[in-house]
Amino acid sequence: VLKGLADDGGLFVPERIPALPVSLGELKGMTYQETAYAVMKQFLTDFTEEELKTCIARAYDRKFDTPEIAPLRKVEDLCYLELFHGPTSAFKDVALCMLPQLLTAAKAQKGMKEDILILTATSGDTGKAALEGFKDVSKTQILVFYPKDGVSDIQQLQMVTQEGGNVGVCAVVGNFDDAQTGVKKLFADEELAQQLAERGYFLSSANSINWGRVLPQIVYYISAYSDLRREGAIEKGQEINVCVPTGNFGNILAAYYAKMMGVPIKTLICASNENNVLTDFLRTGVYDRNRPFHNTLSPSMDILISSNLERLLFELSGRDDKQVTEYMEQLAEKGSYEVSVPIKTKLHQTFAAGYCDDAQTKETIRRMWEEQHYLIDPHTAVAFDVLEQYRKESGDETPTVVVSTASPFKFCDSVLGALGVTELAEGTAILDQLAELTGVPVPAPLAALKNKSVRFSQTVSKEHMVDQVLEMLK
């Protein structure tokens, strides 16, 4: 949790994947927080009961607009696992409300005196969720860089109006890759490291490769299964499928871990947009990032290197770290690799994959609204479309949980466009426009943007990001 990445550049994984601590039947009666404790204590064996329970209580409180934290919403014969009820209306809240608590507890336990400086590059959702999670956490500063031309208006407004005494936000000229490369350079900058150490700072990241972000995501797959049982939607031990809109492979990896722990999940359906590198990989066993990059309506999935896949390969290879290292080296050197036949076999046993383009995404949003009166965001629409394709091709009608990763109000322009609106309102008025058209209320955290003033308006070039860091620590 404190280190993020191992010294050799690999990702941290649990020494072993524990089984569920209690039967699924017993989990049925638990609150989200109780389930979180039961699951996380299996992994975080060096946290005391009190430490972990305190972390959970602080993470999952009234910041979420429902006491269920991750409610299931039934629409026709499907269940949507709504993960957007947190403070920034995106699923990343579930992990990023927890990570700062874990970091603070770990730091106290180790007796670390340094302050933590979190540096993060964001393509939209991570930055805001990280800012909200770390806001006013003591002995911590957070600085978020976002691409000037790469986030939606609402996403930008969410970040530049961020409150808190320990936060900084700065735009970077260019796209997400420029911001990301810039932040990576800051982490490798020895002169900066020296200056930070002199001022008593320890550098860390809120990136999705931190184990402290993957772990909290396992919890909601387990809570979803027990919710289905409690509602009588499935029988004891009955299998379900999950369908996950995927980018960096963190969310669907958490579902895989839940399956390993004993949740009866049959098939994990990986949904991508036109950046369909994972669709090809899960079907053929060849990962090839040498392909054009598309800016799509589901920008949080516009990714060609899915970092968390490394953790899956480790498990599927029988925990063969040498083999995984070879794949990762090939990926770095030539941008592609092909996994072994045994790994391919396991991939096909457990995963299905598909993708859809922007036109299908819009059509799905429109159809879902007109036929079911359920308003979904573009990422969730990708998942639903891919699930329909999968069901048609396979005939597999197993009860399925579709993971819903963002509020449609975070992507008002795309959603209104899908519903046939051509004249879009400006600024925050677009929130009301979508609310008036559909009768669905604007989520409180987004409605509150109207009354907030802009606190951060700096834009820097990639080369000058370091000055922002030093300025912040003055």
Ligand X SMILES: *Cc1c(COP(=O)(O)O)cnc(C)c1O
Tell me the window of 86-94, 289-297, 317-325, 354-362 that interacts with ligand X (CB under 6 A): 86-94
271-310 binders of ligand X (CB under 6 A): 300-301
Q: Pick between residue 90 and residue 102 the one whose CB is nearest to ligand X.
A: 90
107-146 binders of ligand X (CB under 6 A): 125
Residues 265 and 239: their CA atoms lie apart, in Å, by: 5
Q: Is 41 a catalytic residue?
A: no
Select from 27, 90, 102, 435 the one that contacts ligand X (CB under 6 A): 90
Residues 51 and 108: their CA atoms lie apart, in Å, by: 10
405-444 binders of ligand X (CB under 6 A): 405-406
Min dist CB 131 to ligand X, Å, is 14
Min dist CB 120 to ligand X, Å, is 13
17-76 binders of ligand X (CB under 6 A): none
Min dist CB 126 to ligand X, Å, is 7
Q: Pick between residue 133 and residue 468 the one whose CB is nearest to ligand X.
A: 133
Q: By CB under 6 A, is residue 92 in contact with ligand X?
A: yes
Select from 247, 408, 417, 445 the one that contacts ligand X (CB under 6 A): 247
Min dist CB 341 to ligand X, Å, is 26
Select from 248, 279, 296, 468 the one that contacts ligand X (CB under 6 A): 248
Select from 86, 133, 212, 245 the one that contacts ligand X (CB under 6 A): 245
Select from 251, 279, 414, 433 the one that contacts ligand X (CB under 6 A): 251
CB-based contact 415:399 (threshold 8 Å): no
Tell me the window of 223-231, 245-253, 260-268, 428-436 that interacts with ligand X (CB under 6 A): 245-253
Q: Pick between residue 54 and residue 350 the one whose CB is nearest to ligand X.
A: 350
Q: By CB under 6 A, is residue 213 in contact with ligand X?
A: no
Q: By CB under 6 A, is residue 257 in contact with ligand X?
A: no
Min dist CB 256 to ligand X, Å, is 12
Min dist CB 351 to ligand X, Å, is 13
Q: Pick between residue 100 and residue 250 the one whose CB is nearest to ligand X.
A: 250
370-389 binders of ligand X (CB under 6 A): 379
- Which of 41, 53, 74, 92 is an active site residue? 92
Q: Pick between residue 378 and residue 417 the one whose CB is nearest to ligand X.
A: 378
Q: By CB under 6 A, is residue 87 in contact with ligand X?
A: no
Q: What is the 3-state secondary structure (H, E, C) of the chain?
A: CCCCECCCCCECCCCCCCCCCCCHHHHCCCCHHHHHHHHHHHHCCCCCHHHHHHHHHHHCCCCCCCCCCCCEEEECCEEEEECCCCCCCECHHHHHCCHHHHHHHHHHHHCCCCEEEEEEECCCHHHHHHHHHHCCCCCEEEEEEEECCCCCHHHHHHHHCCCCCCEEEEEECCCHHHHHHHHHHHHHCHHHHHHHHHCCEEEECCCCCCHHHHHHHHHHHHHHHHHHHHCCCCCCCCCEEEEEECCCCHHHHHHHHHHHHCCCEEEEEEEECCCCHHHHHHHHCEEECCCCCCCCCCHHHCCCCCCCHHHHHHHHCCCCHHHHHHHHHHHHHHCEEECCHHHHHHHHHHEEEEECCHHHHHHHHHHHHHHHCCCCCHHHHHHHHHHHHHHHHHCCCCCEEEEECECHHHHHHHHHHHCCCCCCCCCCHHHHHHHHHHCCCCCHHHHHHHHCCCCCCCEECHHHHHHHHHHHCC
As annotated, the active-site residues are: 92
Per CB under 6 A, residues contacting ligand X are 90-92, 125, 208, 245-251, 300-301, 379, 405-406
